[in-house]
Chain A
Amino acid sequence: MVKKAYLRERFFPHLWCPGCGHGMVLNGLLQAIEKMGLSRNEIVMVSGIGCSSRITGYVDFHTLHTIHGRALAFATGVKMARPELNLIVPMGDGDALAIGGNHFIHAARRNIDITAIVMNNRIYGMTGGQFSPLSGEDVRATTAPYLTIDPGFDVVELSKAAGATFVARTTTYHIQQMSDIIQQAILHEGFSVVEIFSQCPTYFGRKNKAGDAVDMIAYFKKNTTPIGSTAKKENPDLIERGVFVQKEKPEYCSQYEKLVQKAMKGR
């Protein structure tokens, strides 16, 4: 199923639970990369800390597994130093938008050419099921025994407002769409955000009686709809998926190149 040439077989078996959505994201991601025919040497994958972030260990790219929430800051350094490399940054929902929220909005604001993937399972998987800023209200978590009262972020709206020039959402049910979107996101010159609903049957599923992995994936199918569909008009509670934003705006590294020209002339 997954693309062997891109995997570090030495490091398997992976640590994800059976049915975890993160492996499906890895699959969709590798499909995209294979379709694009990218060479492994041109890809740098940077992640933070979380179940999701372990993805970097398994792929045969230049991989940087960093500290919780800071992946985009590390990636910014790599990208600025070597703009010709493709930077892919998979993050957990807590990683990207709780502890890493500041780096997230600033990377978006700069419009630096990095592909950020938010593997959103609405829970802190790695630490055993605490709520995240994407859990939303009325979710049960180990730190929300009386259900959450914290509203969640809307990743799409947040990314748009912060300046991301490619913003999309998909789910682990929609693997084909996922890989197509990731491909577009990588090709896009500028900061791209791909939010992927991913299932954590072990904590989110169990705590919230959401069933097993299959049930959770079926939920993604049932509760999402393509952007602007008639279904959405009939049922506004459906969550839209697809590409929300795709626009051209000066990219940070190219802007920096111009700045260098200016600085050198001034000498």
Chain B
Amino acid sequence: MSGNIKFIQGNEACAEAAVYAGLDFYAGYPITPSTEITEFLASRLPQIGGKFLQMEDEIASLCAIIGASLTGCKVMTATSGPGFSLMQEALGYAIMAEIPCVIVNVQRGGPSTGLPTHGSQGDVNQARWGTHGDHAIIALTASNHQDIFALTVEAFNLAEIYRTPVILLLDEVVAHMRERLVIPQPGEMPLVERLKTTVNEGVDYHPYLPREDGRLPMSDFGGPHRYNVTGLFHDMWGFPSSEPRAVHGLLRHLVDKIENRVNQLARYKEYYIEDAKHLLVSYGSSARSARHIVEKRRSRGERIGLLELQTLWPFPHEMVREKCAAAQAVIVVEQNMGQILQVVKLAVDQPDKVFLANRIDGDFIMPSDILNILRLIQGKGV
């Protein structure tokens, strides 16, 4: 057991988790602050018979893993803001063609080259709407290494279940921080393997005909069933179609398969929520400072709580509304100009009671930053 305890970076925790989840194939392009993931897997994957590719750019990286996924591999790529921007077209392709894959975005300050070595949570909306057209997406985040591990495994599982890209939104702070990680024993965490078709060779296989439960069993490229995969709207054979019913049906399927399961997909943690007068809502590294404040104030008997979001998209509106219902004030703590604040305001019954405690200067959000807002709300002055 002791051999499974490590003191490592968040990026390494993510890479370890990917291997634990059964990663077969990784392609990437170096970019701070995600590079350690790529370096770790360059070393590890060949040792376990996996495939590692350093591609010519992030576009090629995502395209390559999509290709590999179609042969039955579990696949991942990791990047940061500028690379994530380059990936948006291929991300839409993976959504449309329903290709399981995991995309890690270790956020840094943006826009543009921005702040390569500083933390940020500025890509929350890009993860949601970065690629063009109506669509749904799953995006997860985590605030400590144990959770990074769990959520990375979860990302692989959800990618398989929903046949979709899953985005893991880490940030520079957790990614580069060193902390204790206990790597679970094999079998300790459930892993979802690819759902393969049971249709026999020679029988017409419909790659894009969902089962009753919405899932689509796959057939590996190279296997007995030959079919077409395209980013165009398509019919149940994967052949391009602009027939209005096919278009409508496919778009509804792509959105509904995720949005209709928002409750099942909601991952979060809560600390002292029941009687909280002041409720902090946070995620990722920001949630660390939020939690610090909550623990400290609670020990003094203050009624303050924390809702830590781990699923950012699809946004768990219902859950957030319920958790926020009894609070007098809700303070969203995040390192951007209010990207989750906006969705929380939409979710709660009284948007006026939702406030923002943020930082956008590249520095880590400190407990004192949150405290200042808290004091203002409490009418205490800063």
Contact surface of A with B, Cβ cutoff 8 Å: 8, 10-11, 40-42, 44, 46, 56-57, 60-67, 70, 73-82, 84-85, 102-103, 106, 256, 259-260, 262-264, 266-267
- Name 18 interchain pairs, CB-CB below 8 A, sorted by A: A57-B239, A57-B240, A63-B226, A64-B228, A66-B230, A70-B90, A73-B61, A77-B53, A77-B63, A77-B64, A78-B67, A78-B70, A79-B67, A81-B25, A81-B73, A82-B71, A85-B222, A102-B56
Chain B: which residue is nearest A60 at the CB level? B226
Secondary structure type dominating chain A contacts: helix
Query: Within the complex, which residue of B53, B70, B223, B240 is in contact with A76, where a contact is CB–CB below 8 Å?
Result: B53
Shortest distance between the CB of B279 and any CB in chain A (Å) = 43
- Inter-chain contact B226/A62, CB cutoff 8 Å: yes
Residues of B within 8 A of A57 (CB): 228, 230, 239-240
Shortest distance between the CB of B182 and any CB in chain A (Å) = 23
Secondary structure type dominating chain B contacts: mixed
- The winner among A57, A64, A260, A267 for most chain B CB atoms within 10 A is A64
- Inter-chain contact A61/B226, CB cutoff 8 Å: yes
- Asked if B251 CB lies within 8 Å of chain A CBs, one says no
- Asked if B272 CB lies within 8 Å of chain A CBs, one says no
A64 to B55, CA, bound (A): 19
- Asked if B231 CB lies within 8 Å of chain A CBs, one says yes
Query: Within the complex, which residue of A8, A11, A41, A263 is in contact with B47, where a contact is CB–CB below 8 Å?
Result: A263
Residues of B within 8 A of A64 (CB): 67, 70, 221, 228-229
Beyond A63-B227, A66-B231, A106-B55, 13 additional contacts (C-beta under 8 Å) are A42-B222, A56-B228, A62-B227, A65-B229, A65-B231, A67-B89, A70-B63, A73-B55, A76-B64, A80-B68, A84-B222, A85-B221, A103-B60
Shortest distance between the CB of B152 and any CB in chain A (Å) = 21
- Asked if B259 CB lies within 8 Å of chain A CBs, one says no
Residues of A within 8 A of B239 (CB): 8, 10-11, 57
Residues of B within 8 A of A56 (CB): 228
Chain B interface size, under 10 / 10 to 19 / 20 to 34 / 35 or more: 35 or more
A10 to B241, CA, bound (A): 13
A82 to B69, CA, bound (A): 11
Residues of A within 8 A of B222 (CB): 41-42, 44, 62, 82, 84-85
Shortest distance between the CB of B49 and any CB in chain A (Å) = 6
- Inter-chain contact B55/A41, CB cutoff 8 Å: no
Shortest distance between the CB of B343 and any CB in chain A (Å) = 30
Query: Within the complex, which residue of B25, B59, B70, B229 is in contact with A73, where a contact is CB–CB below 8 Å?
Result: B59
Shortest distance between the CB of B52 and any CB in chain A (Å) = 9
Contact surface of B with A, Cβ cutoff 8 Å: 24-25, 27, 43, 46-47, 49, 51, 53, 55-57, 59-61, 63-73, 75, 89-90, 93, 221-224, 226-232, 237, 239-240
A102 to B58, CA, bound (A): 12
Shortest distance between the CB of A69 and any CB in chain B (Å) = 9
- Inter-chain contact B231/A41, CB cutoff 8 Å: no
Chain B: which residue is nearest A87 at the CB level? B67
Query: Within the complex, which residue of A41, A77, A81, A259 is in contact with B224, where a contact is CB–CB below 8 Å?
Result: A41
Chain B: which residue is nearest A56 at the CB level? B228
- Inter-chain contact A76/B73, CB cutoff 8 Å: no
- Per CB-CB distance, the 9 closest pairs between chain A and chain B, nearest first, are A77-B67, A77-B64, A263-B46, A73-B63, A73-B60, A81-B68, A78-B67, A65-B230, A74-B67
